[in-house]
Structure 1
Amino acid sequence: MSKQLATFEANFRPLINTYLTENLPKDVDQSILSDAMAYSVNAGGKLLRPLLTLAVLVAAGQSEIATGQLRAASALELLHTYSLIHDDLPAMDNDDLRRGVPTNHVKFGAGMATLAGDGLLTLAFQWVADNDLPADQKLALVNALAVNAGPSGMVAGQADDISNEHHQLALPALENLHRHKTGALLHYAVQAGCIMAQTTPQETAALLTFADQFGLAFQIYDDLLDVTSTAEQLGKRVHKDAQESKNTYPGLFGVEGTKTRLAEVVAAAKTALEPLSQDSQLDVTLLTAFLSYFQIEG
């Protein structure tokens, strides 16, 4: 991780964590449900998605993040956490470890875990709508979040993932699957920043191209770590994708071929930002620094 990114995270991660910890219980009226929702939200995630949203605001020159902007960014972490809870359920991936602790259904049972995910999903939209942002921004955020999280976005990717188990996809179909399953929320993370920063159409287009390449790199990197890391390092079970015949980049290209593909996608993400360095008032150095997340050994 670059020094610039480390400094940014040190400044903004506590803001997001504090907002989540203090505000989540205010909107839940059942004690066990509140505990189950907070259990996964507060389990120590990277907060990558809300951090990306705030990074776009910083790139646009904001030195202070407004409360409404922080609330909207934090809502994305609620929605992302819902997706993890449901992904781990016995009817889905049946995982027992997430972020280094037992998964939600192991801790609270499958029924309560399902409800915790349902609660986080709907609360995410509440936090975007019940917000002091301008009305046009709230409407744009709600619509974009619904599109990227719903049946033409993340949910479609999850459906592709399930329906193509034991069937090796070619590269175009594999990348399409992951643009939906993983990339859609990362696309929205940057899009939300663009909406709140009121970037120009040209700036928005370049930033969303970056977001899509970043999302693809994230999935490739995650696939790579699944075959090269330990459960202790990742905080979740490893080698599970191959055991369940999931479609992955190492399954298609092998480890070395996956590293090569990752390097290509990271380079494409960096290239997407280059026009903004020349023809825009945006400072994209921080967003470029996010690419240091993908450290390849060997």
Structure 2
Amino acid sequence: MNANLSEYITKYKAKIENEFDHYLRNLNMHSRLKESMLYSLEAGGKRLRPILMIASYEAYGQQVEKVLSSAIALEMIHTYSLIHDDLPAMDNDDLRRGKPTNHKMFDEATAILAGDALLTYSFEIIANDPLLTAEEKVNLIKMLASSSGPSGMVGGQFLDMEAENRPISLEEMERIHALKTGELVRTAILSGAMLGKATKEQLEHLTTFAYYLGLIFQVQDDILDVTGDEEKLGKPVGSDEDNQKSTYPKLLGIDGAIKQKETYAEKAKEALQKAGAASSALMDLTDYFSNRDH
């Protein structure tokens, strides 16, 4: 990672995490439920989705505070999905980011409700944002609901479960991950650019960029599950194989997965140039997504 991008990620990661206190610490609710929500929200993580939203906004807009609440809401939705993914009925994971998963730290019922609370509270945060117009709030809530719901992340997770224990094609795998992983990435990029007043044509090119960036993220995730460092990943390698998941290395081999990732990266960068954002942090983030080690 180049020094400028490292500083950029560090700066906004800290800004995002500082905001968690503002939104949750003083919330009037049961202390154990709040503790469970904060446990997963503050368990670490790269904060890539909110950082993507900020970077996309900054490619076209000036007042970064305008996008912060929406970025926090997006991270809450992502965190809810991780809590639920880890449950015994889903991936049945014991560790997340090197720590016990939420249902292991608390219990299954509390983990489910903590996820539900993070999901629903995210929409309340956007609805109460004083820096957004009524039209912007509606567009953001609609986009977030669509990308996280049955036609987005939840639908992709269901397709991913259906694909276990059977061979699938590259096209089917791309569809699964464009929904499961890519939809929140797409929302991060499009909502940030929308708030920054990107043009309709720019948003169309960014849609293409986001599609390939989401696939890049997933391919690298799959590669790291085979070749990664358990200490850096914060979870055991090989869990996809243990859970009979369909992955890029399983379908294409490690070398084939790397080559496929490089093809996605070329297409992503081409779309980013057409969107007039080649000099933005989004270009460096594309390389980071492709080469990250955890």
TM-score using structure 2 length = 0.95
Task: Please give the secondary structure, in 1, of the residue aligned with 2:93.
Answer: coil
Per the alignment, residue 106 of structure 1 pairs with: 104
Alpha-carbon shift at residue 164 of structure 1 (Å): 1.5
Conserved 8 A contact 1:95-1:237: no
Counterpart of 1:209, as a letter, is T
Alignment CA distance shift 1:71-1:164 (3 Å): same
1:259 equivalent to 2:263? Answer no
C-alpha contact (below 8 Å) 1:166/1:246 kept by paired residues: yes
C-alpha separation in 2, matches of 1:141 and 1:81: 18
Structure 2 CA distance, aligned partners of 1:24 and 1:166?
Answer: 40
| Aligned match of 1:147 | 146
Runs of 4+ in 1 over 2 A off after TM superposition: 25-28, 282-285
Letter in 2 for 1:170: S
Rounded to whole Å, the distance in 2 between the matches of 1:28 and 1:50 is 25
**Aligned-partner Cα distance in 2 for 1:210–1:226:** 25
Corresponding residue SS for 1:220: helix
1:18 partner letter? N
2:147–2:184: 8 Å Cα contact kept in structure 1?
A: yes
Aligned to 1:45: 45
Partner of 1:220: 219
Determine the structure 2 residue equivalent to 1:172. Answer: 171
> Post-superposition shift, 1:28?
4.8
Name stretches of at least 5 consecutive residues in structure 1 with no aligned partner: none
| Residue 229 (structure 1) shift | 1.2
> Which piece of structure 1 moves more, 228-237 or 84-93?
228-237
Give the partner amino acid of 1:105.
Answer: H
- The residue aligned with 2:21 is 21
In structure 1, what is the equivalent of residue 291 of structure 2? 295
Distance in 2 separating the partners of 1:198 and 1:296: 30
Determine the structure 2 residue equivalent to 1:73.
71
Mapped contact 2:272–2:278 kept (Cα < 8 A): no
Task: Note closer, same or farther for the CA distance 1:296–1:23 as it changes in structure 2 (3 Å cut).
Answer: closer
Q: Is the 8 A contact 1:141 1:195 kept in 2?
A: no
Shift of 1:296: 7.8
| Conserved 8 A contact 2:41-2:79 | yes
Tell me the equivalent position of 1:286: 281
Inter-partner Cα distance in structure 2 for 1:54 and 1:105: 31
> What is the RMSD computed on CA atoms of the aligned residues?
1.4
Query: Which residue type is aligned with residue 229 of structure 2?
Result: T
Q: Deviation digits for residues 8-27 of structure 1, max 9, x if unmatched?
A: 11221111000013322233
Aligned partner letter, 1:174: M
1:23-77 Cα offsets, whole Å, 9 max, x none, are 2223350100000000000011110000001001211141x422x4211111100
Equivalents in 1 of 2:73, 2:197: separation in Å?
A: 19
Q: Secondary structure at the match of 1:27?
A: coil
Q: Distance in 2 between matches of 1:39 and 1:28?
A: 17
Tell me which residue corresponds to 2:183.
184
Local SS of the residue matching 1:131 = coil
The answer to whether the 8 Å contact 2:61/2:195 transfers is no
Q: Which amino acid in structure 2 is aligned with residue 14 of structure 1?
A: A
Q: Cα offset for 1:283?
A: 5.9
The residue number in structure 1 matching 2:237 is: 238
C-alpha contact 1:75 1:127 (8 A) present in aligned 2: yes
Between Structure 1 and Structure 2, how many residues are aligned? 291
> Residues 55 and 280 of structure 2 are in contact (CA less than 8 Å); yes or no, is this contact kept in structure 1?
no
CA shift for structure 1 position 237: 2.2
Q: CA deviation at 1:202?
A: 0.6
| Same amino acid, percent of matched pairs | 42
Q: Distance in 2 between matches of 1:292 and 1:35?
A: 35
Query: Which string of whole-angstrom CA distances, capped at 9 and with x for unpartnered residues, describes residues 172-231 of structure 1?
Result: 111000000110100110111022112100111111211111000000000000000132
| TM-score of the two chains, using structure 1 as the length reference | 0.94
Asked if 2 retains the 8 angstrom alpha-carbon contact of 1:21 and 1:42, the reply is: no
Paired with 1:28 and 1:52, the residues of 2 have a C-alpha distance of 30
Distance in 1 between residues matched to 2:229 and 2:4, nearest whole Å: 28
Say whether residues 1:202 and 2:198 are aligned partners. no
TM-superposition CA deviations, 1:92-120 (whole Å, max 9, x none): 00001111111100100111001110000
